[in-house]
Structure 1
Amino acid sequence: MLSREERQHSLFSDRGHKPGDSRQAFQIDRDRILYSSAFRRLAQVTQVVSAQEGHVFHNRLTHSLKVAQVARRLSEKLLVQQPDIAADVGGVAPDVVEAGALGHDLGHPPFGHTAEEELDRCAREAGLADGFEGNAQSFRILTRLAIHRIDYYGLNLTRATLNAVCKYPWMRSLIPRSKQQRKYSIYDLDKAAFLFVRPDQNKRQTIEASIMDFADDITYSVHDLEDFYLAGLIPLELLATDRDELNRFITEWLRESSHNYVAKAVKQNPDRFQNFLDATYNLKGQYRPGSFEQKAQIKRISSQLIQNYIHSVSLTTEYGDRGYLQYDRAKEEELKFLQRIVWSYVISNPRLATQRYGQKRIIRTLFEIYLEAIQARDLSFIPARFVREYLDLESRATNGEDIKLEKTRMAVDIVAGLSEAEAVLQYRRLTGINQGSFLDYWE
């Protein structure tokens, strides 16, 4: 039986480096992710709207911290209530679940999903059949790109924690429009690391990954809605009281996704969802917008919803839609309903269209510049932290190895690893829009 505590680079002992370190293996994993520069970068990466908007909206860092908190509490609750089933389905360790949650979004590029799509397009056009995907980039960061010791690449985490990060434990499929083509957690070049995590390459989430995945859904469903409701961008009171507005919302949803089972459920019983909103979020006329009282009420509502969703799931030995989690169908539909509200009123808002156009241009331009520099062996353009890996690639090339795809992947890694402020700064400098300062730090 494979050891859950075995590390990716087992030749290097990570216990005993510091005299008196009493931490257990999974606690070390959690701390390594928390202290990594890849985790700090998330403070300047978009959750839904630009991280530059300030503390009003969640960024990827605050989102990840909240996912970690919800995931840990959910795992603790399941362990207390169903310890035998937890053991039967592979084990539930709160430190592993929390570490998986802290690491699950490390791979998101600057500017969020807009950049993710553009970087995927750039990568595929440059010859990488598996393109770019944020989940696969997270796995690559943890196993390859993050810096921890001079002896190896990556954070040298345990098998259990790396499994907990894998929401989609497979490589990209070439079958058009399949789920495994759209979502995947492993690049082709990282197959060796994946074989360490699960030599049999089975495609089931571990229970710890399923807990993290569910906590992620809870967190962005509730907190993103909270953000945009308080900002006045989502008319929850209107949806809660106006049947015409709700019908318009449902019609648009069905038109875009006619097979969506939640949209069909809303259409069949709109009163149920209207009553849910009315009982939960309808604060119209009760509090002045932005007031202490309104914000306190919203915090209370969000807290109660999170508790409701945490208590709506239990463990099962039968693998299903949410892995080994048994969920309440009605609560699952509520979560999807809340997510769609954010999509309809904020993410698809035309006001973001011009911003997205500029963001795509930044991503494509930077990718092309870095790829050209890598191919031309111009070390002056390659960030210092990538020089060692670049020289390793060149050394292998002199031995006759084909490293073309790895060089292209390096260009992807450089762009994906930028914060949004760094991406804008580098774009302006490299295109001559703003020369910047000689003293600007660039790692």
Structure 2
Amino acid sequence: MHCTDRFHPAIPDFRDPFARDRDRVIHTSSFRRLEYKTQVFINHEGDYFRTRLTHSLEVSQIARAIANALGCHETLAETIALAHDLGHTPFGHVGGDTLDASLRADGNLHGFEHNFQSFRVVTKLEKRYAQFDGLNLTFATLEGILKHSYPYRKPFLTEWHDETFGLDYHPSIEAMIVDHADEIAYISHDIDDGIEHGLISFEDILENELVAYIDEKVRREGLQRGTELHRYRFVGMLISHLVTELIRSSRSGIPAKGRVLCRTIPVSEPIPVRFDPELATRIKQLKKLLMVKLYRHERIVSKMHAGKECIRKLYAALKEDIHLMPERYKSRLHTEKKERVIADFIAEMSDRYALMRYREIYGLM
């Protein structure tokens, strides 16, 4: 299958194939719901903080810049970035983990995985055409959504996925770019949100060499720690530094021919889009530091515990009484397992809708 092929015929129009994919993603209900899904902070915490929607937009902007600099297809990178979080549950990763545990407790060994759920959203769950399910996206976009995070082999992927998307091959260069753009966006913006929310300070993370390096650059501009402008400049300089270094260290590994490369690089070969080893180590150390200082902060853990309880109780209630689901979900129970249908319904919920249904069902209004 060629990178621009689709599973169903599409009438050509004035757009290139990946621009059509991007537009189809943006106009989905799943994309709009990202506005009210947690990134790190519960959606109702305040208007400043990132949501899954703003995060996806930030990832797409970073991915476009990197793809352009490396001579790759900007629009494909943008599209994969915009679609990469469509399968996330309410309450961030903790919501997905809770849904996964609930499914496995019921004997569903495939559980729940948000990358694969994003793939399911665009191939099955979104209904936009009378003739088929899904959005009928190009092969390259689907592969990028399914495989943008390494490793690609997962127990729930079938022989069909292997034959169609080549799980023994790296995805397109653009999908690799999105994976790094995702990392750059969430590291920098979680620091921004964490400091703005008073959960961490620069002093908490200055032990990291990367943070110290960027902080020194900002202070050379005459900006003192603790000011709003220092924080803004720090985040901007951190993103710029990471993007610049990723481009520099990746250029030599990008094949000269072909802007969109699918199923050409075996997984046994190194990923060509990568940071140099020293910077990669500093990034890894910073992520570990944020795990301790930010993601395990008492206030975040408390909110996430409430989110876990909400997901767990919703799953139990829907399992007990299927009539709590909309008709479009109940109609699927004739051909699909109840637990998977329930998981799809919960996964699509926004934070506030999940909380509303939880309170409504359990009489907590």
TM-score range, shorter chain: 0.7 to 0.9
Alignment partner of 1:14: what SS? coil
Look up the match of 2:17.
25
Look up the match of 1:228.
194
Confirm or deny that 1:123 pairs with 2:109.
Answer: no
- Distance in 2 (alpha carbons) for counterparts of 1:328 and 1:48: 28
Give how far 1:224 is off: 1.4
Look up the match of 2:301.
353
Segments of 5+ residues of structure 2 without an aligned counterpart are 256-264
Look up the match of 1:297.
233
* Aligned positions of 1:40-59 closer than 5 A: 40-59=32-51
- Distance in 2 (alpha carbons) for counterparts of 1:169 and 1:144: 23
* Aligned positions of 1:66-215 closer than 5 A: 66-79=58-71, 92-165=72-145, 166=147, 167-168=149-150, 170-173=152-155, 187-188=156-157, 191=158, 194-195=161-162, 197-198=164-165, 200-215=166-181
* Aligned positions of 1:322-361 closer than 5 A: 323-361=271-309
Residues 281 and 136 (structure 1), Cα distance of their counterparts in 2 relative to 1, 3 Å cut: farther
**Structure 2 length as normaliser, TM-score?**
0.86
Residues 384 and 274 (structure 1), Cα distance of their counterparts in 2 relative to 1, 3 Å cut: closer
Give how far 1:328 is off: 1.5
Alignment partner of 1:324: what SS? coil
- Distance in 2 (alpha carbons) for counterparts of 1:371 and 1:69: 40
Q: Note if contact 1:230-1:290 (Cα within 8 Å) is conserved in structure 2.
A: no
Look up the match of 1:15.
11
CA RMSD, Structure 1 to Structure 2 (Å): 2.8
Confirm or deny that 1:381 pairs with 2:318.
Answer: no
Residues 278 and 74 (structure 1), Cα distance of their counterparts in 2 relative to 1, 3 Å cut: closer
Letter in 2 for 1:228: G
Q: Note if contact 1:234-1:342 (Cα within 8 Å) is conserved in structure 2.
A: no
Q: Note if contact 1:159-1:196 (Cα within 8 Å) is conserved in structure 2.
A: no
**Structure 1 length as normaliser, TM-score?**
0.72
Residues 303 and 122 (structure 1), Cα distance of their counterparts in 2 relative to 1, 3 Å cut: closer
Confirm or deny that 1:421 pairs with 2:352.
Answer: yes
Larger radius of gyration: 1
Look up the match of 1:366.
314
Give how far 1:205 is off: 3.1
- Distance in 1 (alpha carbons) for counterparts of 2:295 and 2:239: 24
Per-residue CA deviation, residues 283-333 of structure 1 (Å, 9 max, x unaligned), is 9x9558554x44553454345334434434324267678622243122222
Per-residue CA deviation, residues 126-146 of structure 1 (Å, 9 max, x unaligned), is 121011111111111111111
Segments of 5+ residues of structure 1 without an aligned counterpart are 80-91, 174-186, 241-245, 247-265, 267-271, 375-379, 394-402, 435-443
Matched residues, number: 351
Q: Aligned residues: percent identity?
A: 31
